Chain A
């Protein structure tokens, strides 16, 4: 055969192979690009939902109450679906079609979480009329409804000898204990802190060697006027110039509150003192010897170990046998308590979520079997340390395979939790032209006029006047963000344990711990009796 023929035969063989290979690679490239673009779209929709949640909660003084919170979360879920629809419209989907592909949205909050997913309406006619006589509710029994499922607490049950208690954890070191121990009933809650000392004769409280005292009254701007205020159980009560007290409700002044004692703010002092007393009470209950091996699930069985994506054990409840109430540095990130707390929260989310996702198969119309994706370790880290939204999108065909993605977005501006990160320091609180700094700013110096401020008090708020419908915008604190440590964080110390960092900066520590204690103590707590708590300040 002539060489020309050979070449032609070769081309006849090579050309189709090359074409098929080229098409295959092209399809793979498109699949991956589509996957990346879906990941980004999901991230964007999730952060839109978080933004909606922030906007609603920052401007609402009732956002920590559960019915108001449910409303805010439902609004956030709606904006998620609207955003998803907008982002995916280009690909020919609309919001209703896409709802089929979102098996669950998880809103993790301070001491528990909500799952937003479809469920079967089990209300029958009789129950509906029983709850609301003459109700116009039209939902049919057995109908598939998408909504929030009941709130699930980060709780764990412990059984050891005569002790049988349920501990509810939160995103910080606040716990609620309910149950029995040695024949006594326990129902208590408080912050767990190490290194607090209380002198009963002088009444002085020290935390990590720093004396915590009362601070001068807090004040902030509403529109153009500065008011003194006290924040009790999540609500700010302002002192008007005529001596009356008011709150802000739905963006308007709500007069006729209080009166409250017009004196120095002792919230931080109370926070540390009550933490000290809580520790004493825990010891008297005789439950400080509980270990992670005593934790049981609803069937009374030990909890199974937590594993990462590759199947490596991260936390072994039984064999680890960690002492939960080991008070040695209990509030520090790597303490036994914190490791256990994070593991319990993760266990509760993981087990409930996998059930919710598996149940979604009963509602989905497609042939795709929904299952929970393995969340990456760094994503868990973010979920466990802040209020966040986890969204799932599964079952969309992206060429060669089926899309199965999730997105985790944190909510850093919320009234739910005061993290170690939420406190900024203003060197001179009386000077409106000063700036606010991160605690880890290398050049931060403090003096007796310095004060720590909760981060959302630097956010814009709005108020409507009674006489006109004009909306006025204002910043409760007028100081501007420091350019070296807040706007761009180029002059900050990178620290992994803020407590250890502050041990060598005692002047900053005093301002910081006072603010952290004050803001945590002023938060809304569902365990408190609101009336009794309010009366302590009247």
Chain B
């Protein structure tokens, strides 16, 4: 009786060690690879917008496809901080020994997507000095997360293991004339 109990325990342990352990390690590595892909894609996407000064639906879809190819779905957040030099100009015009401050106002994901999705040729053009940023977080649970949740439950709203963000100054005028 005692022997068979130990055998059963041993079989369960062996199964965990022989199957679950390698599977967990592999799925962890797979997350690492996804992280790498998402990070590279995000950086390239943002740097492309920064250096061309243009964002088109085609660029955005290509980015979305590239990160979705990792097998997960992602929450993509875009933010464009638009440089407004007009308040600074007004300050200098009121007092010519002062350099006024520039201000930024922001456009977020939905506004940006609305602008670029209006028709297939429309692009959102930026000017020199604007700031563009993008971030991506996985919203589906990855295999590695599922395993972890199986053994020790992680709870909370914002649970993601793959996340990447990149931001920077726009260095080109993208008005497209």
Query: Which residues of chain B come closer than 8 Å to A470, judged between CB atoms?
Result: 97
Q: Is residue A439 within 8 Å, beta carbon to beta carbon, of the partner chain? A: yes
Q: Decide: B97 and A3 in contact? CB cutoff 8 A.
A: no
Query: Which residues of chain B come closer than 8 Å to A3, judged between CB atoms?
Result: 7, 10-11, 14
Return the CB mask of A375-388 against B: 1 if under 8 Å, else 0. Answer: 00010001000000
Which of A18, A224, A420 has the largest count of B CB atoms less than 10 A from its CB?
A: A18
Of A2, A32, A409, which is within 8 A of B171 by CB? A409
Q: Decide: A47 and B22 in contact? CB cutoff 8 A.
A: no
Return the CB mask of B89-115 against A: 1 if under 8 Å, else 0. Answer: 110110011110000000100000001
Contact A43/B168 with A25-B29, A489-B126 known, Cβ cut-off 8 Å: yes
Contact A21/B29 with A4-B14, A7-B13, A486-B127 known, Cβ cut-off 8 Å: yes
Q: Decide: B177 and A29 in contact? CB cutoff 8 A.
A: no
Q: Is residue B175 within 8 Å, beta carbon to beta carbon, of the partner chain? A: yes
Contact A490/B115 with A4-B10, A223-B96, A460-B92 known, Cβ cut-off 8 Å: yes
Listed stretches A142-150, A195-203, A288-296, A493-501; interface member: A493-501
B23 to chain A, nearest CB (A): 11
Q: Decide: A39 and B47 in contact? CB cutoff 8 A.
A: yes
Q: Decide: A408 and B97 in contact? CB cutoff 8 A.
A: no
Nearest-neighbor residue (CB-CB) of B14 within chain A: A7
Listed stretches A277-285, A356-364, A475-483; interface member: A475-483
Query: Which residues of chain B come closer than 8 Å to A14, judged between CB atoms?
Result: 21-22, 25
Q: Decide: A25 and B171 in contact? CB cutoff 8 A.
A: no
Q: Decide: B127 and A36 in contact? CB cutoff 8 A.
A: no
Query: Which residues of chain A come closer than 8 Å to B176, judged between CB atoms?
Result: 440, 494-496
CA separation between A290 and B17, bound complex, in Å? 78
Q: Decide: B175 and A18 in contact? CB cutoff 8 A.
A: no
CA separation between A32 and B13, bound complex, in Å? 38
Return the CB mask of B1-36 against A: 1 if under 8 Å, else 0. Answer: 000000100110110011001100100110011011
Q: Decide: B172 and A28 in contact? CB cutoff 8 A.
A: no
Nearest-neighbor residue (CB-CB) of A496 within chain B: B176
Q: Decide: B97 and A471 in contact? CB cutoff 8 A.
A: yes
Query: Which residues of chain B come closer than 8 Å to A4, judged between CB atoms?
Result: 10, 13-14
Please list the residues of chain A having a beta carbon within 8 angstroms of any beta carbon in chain B.
Answer: 2-4, 6-7, 10-11, 14, 18, 21-22, 25-26, 28-29, 32-33, 36, 39-40, 43-44, 47, 50, 223-224, 378, 382, 408-410, 412-413, 420-421, 438-440, 460, 470-475, 478, 480-481, 483, 486-490, 492, 494-496, 498
16 chain-A/chain-B pairs, Cβ below 8 angstroms: A7-B13, A7-B14, A10-B17, A18-B22, A25-B33, A36-B40, A36-B43, A40-B47, A47-B169, A408-B51, A410-B173, A420-B177, A438-B177, A471-B97, A487-B85, A489-B125
Please list the residues of chain B having a beta carbon within 8 angstroms of any beta carbon in chain A.
Answer: 7, 10-11, 13-14, 17-18, 21-22, 25, 28-29, 32-33, 35-36, 39-40, 43, 47, 50-52, 82-86, 89-90, 92-93, 96-99, 107, 115, 121-128, 166, 168-169, 171-177
